A and B are shown apart, each in its own frame.
Chain A
């Protein structure tokens, strides 16, 4: 069951960093640098479209597929907001067939990981996609978009520069240690850099290099970013007791779980926003899972009362069974929860344990199999007697 690769994400990233081929600097802030780069790629006909976060109104943002160069002004690829997980969105785009025209896709590391999980689940294809990602300082809660975004951004970018943690971030981001993208062709190293003035670009693959060919740049050595990445890793680890503490096994149990999900209204928003909860027809919404009135007498006899709608814990724990192995900890589930259940933190904690058991980090590599879809003959002897 032990993976041939490093078992920690950190070790894996070191490996990846060694693979990165070239690094150079652009004297423009990241979003501007990206717009320039993408415009030139479109001009040269190297990409026919761009998939990135875009501003769609005064305080509103959405992912968009852009084919007209003029609309590139609207993209805000590094703005720390996530209205939807881009991995899920690219899965929609490529579900039935690969894209034929090459497009540049800009997404965060966890979104890229979600996409790779979806590829393994045969929900997306990667052909003709050029992946641009960046070392990620996390995202703010989506509601921030209409509630003091500018002020919070200042603080956010300050923390990104020094490898710190911003209090306004999603809880799942505060504890995320997978903020170095794996599998991106081009990586911007935002963490540890002063992103107000310049952008550091890494080229990680031959594909990336091919796309950038013809662009004039001077190679540079790795700067302060490695130190900042270390600091961020440490600071995020320090957040874990705060974010995960409430989910210690002894705090949960039947009593803890019914308390945690007492306020759940059964809207299933968490599942629908989840990038790796991919079934188009969900078991928990199927007729088979609905209450059978002929069992009412027994239920009332056993319990004295019945909570309606039924199956709150069944849904939540069931979803943990189904998706914790692929959970990328993006935090979409908590962000859309209308009653503020810290469901993303619970999922992130369990994802760590479940994936750790198999030496797996979801989505770090599109080629790696999901542990439950493969096996080794000699393993887990302690299970099954």
Chain B
């Protein structure tokens, strides 16, 4: 693998936005989907930018992920492909979620290119919007040391923070690169062509960066197995699950911010679920002495694990959007991991890999049949 060093004297964002500008100028990209700081400064939104001047103020790697990028792309292409060539600059988990949505035909990838960056994780959005200056500083520290406080819990254990198993066209390497430097790599053939057309020559050896990525991944994998084993004890059994979800007020916001949960009409909000006859509610109450309103909290969470656990990319959007700080993303990432292993499936790894439950082999999984 080869790449090119880019100077990052004004930070990663400045360096990458310069690359984006030259890609735009070269004419092979019509518009760039990239996070940009809002005028009032306290957060970032996804903008699809065509005016090159606006690229000056973009922030390819913001400290937070308020909207999961896959949802931004979905909002653009749910009703069909775009005619313009769009380069999406996203975190790896956002690219992976986009791929999962494409498999579900909620995103159209035609004319869409992806660029990702080595991602140290995202800070909690609520913390950030309430004190952006302090958190900007903190995030700078995290970028330098590749660890720090206040990250989303799933980010602490994420092993897909670089471009391995992420089908991007371009990638910006940051881990372990020299201070004020980053490397840009054309990962796919199209990516190489883009860089070529933009006049960015990619001939440098990037194995030093690759070694650093491996090291960082080992560390995160260590965190992950530790957290997973802790969670196994904490989450096993109905009583424990009940405790984990105890603070849930059943607002279903985790579902609405989840990039994978795409149904327009959620089953758990449907008439079948929430519009029972009064007598039926009564019968349910009488069976236990009482029922919660809104009800079916456990069914909702477990049901959601069934519906999207296979495709869960562990982005942590659910927990970020939870008004009660229920550790929902951790339970999901853990449960997701287990089901994904069953099918040797890595969500978002490749568009060619079908979702396991939408395909089958005739001779498989006999251990699950009554033996």
Q: Do chains A and B touch in the complex (CB under 8 A)?
A: yes
Cβ of A252 < 8 Å from any Cβ of B? no
| Cβ-defined partner of A265 (8 Å) among B252, B321, B322 | B321
Chain B's closest residue to A70 (CB) is: B289
User: Are B46 and A59 in contact, CB atoms less than 8 angstroms apart?
Assistant: no
Cβ of A243 < 8 Å from any Cβ of B? no
Residues of B within 8 A of A59 (CB): 246-247
Binding site for A on B (CB under 8 A): 31, 33, 36, 38-40, 42-43, 45-51, 53-54, 66-67, 71-84, 125-126, 129-130, 242-243, 246-253, 256-257, 264-265, 269, 271, 274-279, 281-282, 285-286, 288-294, 320-325
Residues of A within 8 A of B78 (CB): 290-291
User: Are B75 and A267 in contact, CB atoms less than 8 angstroms apart?
Assistant: no
User: Are B256 and A272 in contact, CB atoms less than 8 angstroms apart?
Assistant: yes
Residues of A within 8 A of B38 (CB): 258-259, 262-263
User: Are B293 and A340 in contact, CB atoms less than 8 angstroms apart?
Assistant: no
User: Are B278 and A94 in contact, CB atoms less than 8 angstroms apart?
Assistant: yes
User: Are B293 and A93 in contact, CB atoms less than 8 angstroms apart?
Assistant: yes
5 smallest CB-CB distances across A and B, nearest first, come from A68-B289, A304-B51, A262-B38, A309-B75, A66-B290
| Cβ-defined partner of B45 (8 Å) among A145, A262, A286 | A262
Cβ of A139 < 8 Å from any Cβ of B? no
Chain A's closest residue to B81 (CB) is: A293
Residues of B within 8 A of A63 (CB): 292-294
User: Are A89 and B251 in contact, CB atoms less than 8 angstroms apart?
Assistant: no
User: Are B54 and A304 in contact, CB atoms less than 8 angstroms apart?
Assistant: yes
With A281-B265, A309-B67 known to touch, is A92 a contact of B253 (CB < 8 Å)?
A: no
User: Are B278 and A266 in contact, CB atoms less than 8 angstroms apart?
Assistant: no
Residues of B within 8 A of A268 (CB): 256
In the bound complex, what is the Cα–Cα distance between A60 and B297 (angstroms)? 13
Q: Which of A172-209 contact B (CB under 8 A)?
A: none
In the bound complex, what is the Cα–Cα distance between A368 and B52 (angstroms)? 56
Cβ of A239 < 8 Å from any Cβ of B? no
With A304-B51, A308-B47 known to touch, is A64 a contact of B76 (CB < 8 Å)?
A: no
User: Are B72 and A308 in contact, CB atoms less than 8 angstroms apart?
Assistant: yes
Chain A's closest residue to B72 (CB) is: A308
In the bound complex, what is the Cα–Cα distance between A305 and B76 (angstroms)? 13
User: Are B290 and A54 in contact, CB atoms less than 8 angstroms apart?
Assistant: yes
Nearest CB of chain B from residue A277's CB, rounded to whole Å: 13
Can you list 27 residue pairs at the A/B interface with Cβ under 8 Å? A60-B247, A62-B249, A62-B293, A63-B292, A64-B292, A64-B293, A65-B282, A65-B293, A67-B289, A67-B290, A92-B275, A92-B281, A92-B294, A96-B277, A262-B39, A262-B45, A263-B38, A265-B67, A269-B256, A292-B79, A293-B77, A293-B83, A304-B53, A305-B51, A307-B46, A336-B251, A338-B323
With A93-B281, A286-B264 known to touch, is A293 a contact of B79 (CB < 8 Å)?
A: yes
User: Are A338 and B51 in contact, CB atoms less than 8 angstroms apart?
Assistant: no
User: Are A306 and B48 in contact, CB atoms less than 8 angstroms apart?
Assistant: yes
With A65-B281, A258-B39, A290-B78 known to touch, is A309 a contact of B264 (CB < 8 Å)?
A: no
Nearest CB of chain A from residue B281's CB, rounded to whole Å: 5
Cβ of A280 < 8 Å from any Cβ of B? yes
Residues of B within 8 A of A65 (CB): 281-282, 285, 290-291, 293
User: Are B246 and A60 in contact, CB atoms less than 8 angstroms apart?
Assistant: yes
Residues of B within 8 A of A307 (CB): 45-48
With A99-B282, A145-B247, A267-B257 known to touch, is A262 a contact of B275 (CB < 8 Å)?
A: no
User: Are B79 and A290 in contact, CB atoms less than 8 angstroms apart?
Assistant: yes
Contact with B along A124-155 (1 / 0, CB 8 A): 00000000000000000011011000000000
Residues of B within 8 A of A143 (CB): 323-325
Chain B's closest residue to A83 (CB) is: B249
Nearest CB of chain B from residue A330's CB, rounded to whole Å: 14
Contact with B along A277-300 (1 / 0, CB 8 A): 000110001110011110011001
Nearest CB of chain B from residue A266's CB, rounded to whole Å: 7
Residues of A within 8 A of B278 (CB): 93-94, 96-100
User: Are A339 and B43 in contact, CB atoms less than 8 angstroms apart?
Assistant: yes
